Amino acid sequence: MYWIIGMTEQSQRELLHTLKAALNDVSWDEVAKQTEIKPRTLKSYVLPTESNGHRGMDKFVRDAVERVLKKAQKKGK
């Protein structure tokens, strides 16, 4: 799956890494807390697509990630 942030298309893995960086490289558990996604589930979204444990994000999850990312980017300005 791919999401569009600004003018850049990102995989869900890249999107989550972008969010983690925007949150000052907090732990994945903290990213999970901020997005209200269970830590184990969030970590499955970050795995490479060829991994057996990889899981695709649905719209609800994408919306949560994008909401937190926008908030973090706004704070960073």
Per-residue model confidence (pLDDT) at position 10: 67
Per-residue model confidence (pLDDT) at position 19: 95
Global confidence as pTM: 0.81
Alpha carbons 71 and 2: distance in angstroms, whole number:
20
Question: Which helix (H) or strand (E) segment is 10 a member of?
Answer: strand 8-11
Domain ranges of the chain: 2-76
pLDDT tens digits along 33-64: 999 999 999 999 999 888 999 999 988 898 88
Per-residue model confidence (pLDDT) at position 60: 87
Alpha carbons 72 and 66: distance in angstroms, whole number:
10
Per-residue model confidence (pLDDT) at position 69: 95
Q: Cα-atom radius of gyration of the chain, to the nearest Å? A: 12
Whether domain 2-76 has CATH 1.10.260:
yes
Q: What is the mean pLDDT of the chain?
A: 86
Per-residue model confidence (pLDDT) at position 4: 47
